[in-house]
Amino acid sequence: MTEAEYRKPLSDEARGTFDSEITSEFAIPTGLAAPRTGGEAETTSEFALPDGLDVPQQAAVEPEGSAFSPPRTYHARHGPPAFTPPTGIPVVSLTKDLPWQDRMRTMLRMPVAERPAPEPVQKAEEDGGPAVPRVLDLTLRIGELLLAGGENAEDVEAAMFAVCRSYGLDRCEPNVTFTLLSISYQPSLVEDPVSASRTVRRRGTDYTRLAAVYQLVDDLSDVETHISLEEAYRRLAEIRRNRHPYPGWALTTASGLLAGSASVLVGGDLLVFVAAALGAMLGDRLAWLCAGRGLPEFYQFTVAAMPPAAIGVALTVAHVDVKASAVITGGLFALLPGRALVAGVQDGLTGFYITASARLLEVLYFFVGIVVGVLVVLYFGVQLGAKLNPDAALNIPENPYWQLGASMLLSLTFAVLLQQERSTVLAVTLNGGVAWAVYGAMYYAGDLSPVASTAVAAGLVGLFGQLLARYRFASALPYTTAAIGPLLPGSATYFGLLSIAQNRVDEGLVSLSTAAALAMAIAIGVNLGSEISRLFLRIGSTEKRRAAKRTRGF
């Protein structure tokens, strides 16, 4: 065949004939197949097994899974046995009509190896369930909103645990500190664990957003409600975009009314009410201006504390017949960080010592900022000849009806400043009135210690607030934080600072110590009331809510 004929395209018949044949140059021609001898095996690899020594095939081993793959068993009821304690898995039936906070807190307070068999979770969209990293990311975002909103660490961990369990991730461990959230998940002892973390950089007080997040977690924890992962992300984005329920002018007005109400609690009249309100509103606007310029919160508190103190000193220098101590004390009530104090003490009492230390250190910095602002004004006032009397703390007149009304107004305005839902304002207002009535009956009528009176009143606030929160399956903060406003130690703080400004350091330190004792009594009372309310809630057995045992030296 010539080269030209070789390049000529083949016909369809010829192409079909050549395609059907083996065209490799290493193929043996037809009819020349050499018979194999028995001396050499067909397989020439040195790793081949000789004939007669075949090893029986074992059953196929299940490939090792990855924590990034969807869970094999989405329904926790049919999950594989893992982390089984020596004494067996305790049979505990958590009552479904209880709030998810109590059920999840019960699980969290047990070690992983002692947790009871998990309860059923909501249904999945697909057989395998959502991807593990996305569930952990949603959990961290929800925990971030709760922690940034002022929720204590234990409740944040309970919420994170509830979200994970609702999507089938039962063996997870959340960890919450003051600025860092982390969570780890390990399906079993032989599978790869996965961990994720998120940093909380900004904090804001918005109890309406906090209530919306609690509602989302409650819906996710409901076995009868099916919420896909995409729907949960969408609702979380809506919560983040929600505007505050009250405009800026309403917050400034509420700050003034809060200071005026506090001034009435310490014996002020109408003129004192107006002066304290003007000073607090001016301080609030200055603090907003500093925040817009990017100044840290320490300087914001320092600037906000100056106008009420300056107005009180100015009235004294002008020889106006007014109780200047009530004006300055009222302005301090709007600045005292009662919310952060209660959260810090609660974290310490529940075993989150790192978070508690950070929160209390934050409270200390805020308090030092207030001290600096007031002391600067009082120092110049003393130099100008202002006759400020520290002994006025012993001459607070009793006016029960006016003080009860002022305490309720203080709680109401405090609730507005905390951006609470309008449906919770009435309840927290009544709770604040009960707190002041109990305190007044014990301190003024019963002549008991102010620290003991404050602790009992705060305990009732925590008790009623926890019961109201459990009734509505919501957070207890909106029902307790604003109600403790009338109990804050504003007068003890002011008179301690005044004594220091007048070079009476010993008396000032004693007064400031009293203020610190009152603050601790408030925080411990609120936490104790909450714990007492949980004692009477029917959880199912006495072993379901174990707390940490007392350390015995080892």
Distance CA 164, CA 237 (A): 19
Q: How confident is the model at residue 409 (pLDDT cuts 50, 70, 90)?
A: very high
DSSP category for residue 483: G
Structure tokens at 287: 């603090």
Asked whether the predicted pLDDT for residue 552 surpasses 90, the reply is no
User: Average pLDDT for residues 69-82, to the nearest whole number?
Assistant: 46
Q: What is the per-residue pLDDT for 82? A: 44
Structure tokens at 201: 């950089």
Any bridge partners for residue 180, and if so which? 199
Residues 6+ apart with CB under 8 A from 77: 117, 118, 119, 120
Q: Which residue has the higher pLDDT, 37 or 279?
A: 279
Nearest to 221 by CA among 102, 347, 316: 102
Any bridge partners for residue 195, and if so which? 184
Q: Which residue has the higher pLDDT, 443 or 104?
A: 443
Pure H helices in 242-333 = 248-265, 270-292, 297-317, 324-333
Percentage of the residues of the chain whose pLDDT score is greater than 70: 71
Please write the tens of the pLDDT for every residue from 494-550: 778 777 777 788 888 888 888 888 888 888 888 888 778 777 665 444 444 455 554
Q: What is the per-residue pLDDT for 449? A: 86
Distance CA 220, CA 224 (A): 9
Please answer whether residues 308 and 279 qualify as being in contact, where contact means their C-beta atoms are separated by less than 8 angstroms: yes
383 three-state secondary structure: helix
Q: What is the CB-side half-sphere exposure of residue 346 using CA atoms within 13 A?
A: 28
Q: What is the per-residue pLDDT for 52? A: 61
Hey, which of 160-169, 184-193, 497-506 has the most confident mean pLDDT?
160-169
Q: What is the per-residue pLDDT for 73? A: 43
Q: What is the per-residue pLDDT for 278? A: 92
For residue 224, the one-letter residue type is E
Residues 6+ apart with CB under 8 A from 52: none
Please write the tens of the pLDDT for every residue from 36-57: 554 444 545 555 656 665 555 5
Longest dimension (CA), the chain: 130
Please answer whether residues 481 and 530 qualify as being in contact, where contact means their C-beta atoms are separated by less than 8 angstroms: no
Q: What is the per-residue pLDDT for 102? A: 60
Please answer whether residues 424 and 418 qualify as being in contact, where contact means their C-beta atoms are separated by less than 8 angstroms: no
Segment (H or E) for 197: strand 194-199
Q: What is the per-residue pLDDT for 89? A: 45
Asked whether the predicted pLDDT for residue 115 surpasses 80, the reply is no
Least confident of 54-63, 219-228, 249-258, 455-464: 54-63
Distance CA 190, CA 82 (A): 10
Pure H helices in 334-421 = 338-349, 353-383, 400-417
Asked whether the predicted pLDDT for residue 83 surpasses 50, the reply is no
Distance CA 509, CA 493 (A): 10
Asked whether the predicted pLDDT for residue 140 surpasses 90, the reply is yes
List the end-to-end C-alpha distance of the chain, in Å, as a whole number: 98
Structure tokens at 500: 């220091």
Average pLDDT taken over every residue of the chain: 75
Please write the tens of the pLDDT for every residue from 308-346: 888 888 888 888 777 777 888 888 887 888 778 888 888
CA angle in degrees (0–180, nearest 5) for 503-508-510: 145
Percentage of the residues of the chain whose pLDDT score is greater than 90: 8
Q: How confident is the model at residue 181 (pLDDT cuts 50, 70, 90)?
A: very high
Distance CA 474, CA 104 (A): 14
Please write the tens of the pLDDT for every residue from 470-510: 777 778 888 888 888 888 887 778 778 777 777 788 888 88
Distance CA 485, CA 410 (A): 7
Rounded to whole angstroms, what are the CA distances from 197 to 144, 147, 173, 286? Answer: 10, 14, 12, 36
Structure tokens at 436: 């002041």
Distance CA 408, CA 485 (A): 9
Q: What is the per-residue pLDDT for 31? A: 60
Q: How confident is the model at residue 80 (pLDDT cuts 50, 70, 90)?
A: very low
Q: What is the per-residue pLDDT for 124? A: 46
Q: How confident is the model at residue 267 (pLDDT cuts 50, 70, 90)?
A: confident
Q: What is the per-residue pLDDT for 13? A: 47
Nearest to 236 by CA among 259, 256, 220, 258: 220
79 three-state secondary structure: coil
Please answer whether residues 330 and 343 qualify as being in contact, where contact means their C-beta atoms are separated by less than 8 angstroms: no
For residue 531, the one-letter residue type is E
Q: What is the CB-side half-sphere exposure of residue 254 using CA atoms within 13 A?
A: 21
Please write the tens of the pLDDT for every residue from 201-212: 878 778 888 888
User: Average pLDDT for residues 184-199, to the nearest whole number?
Assistant: 83
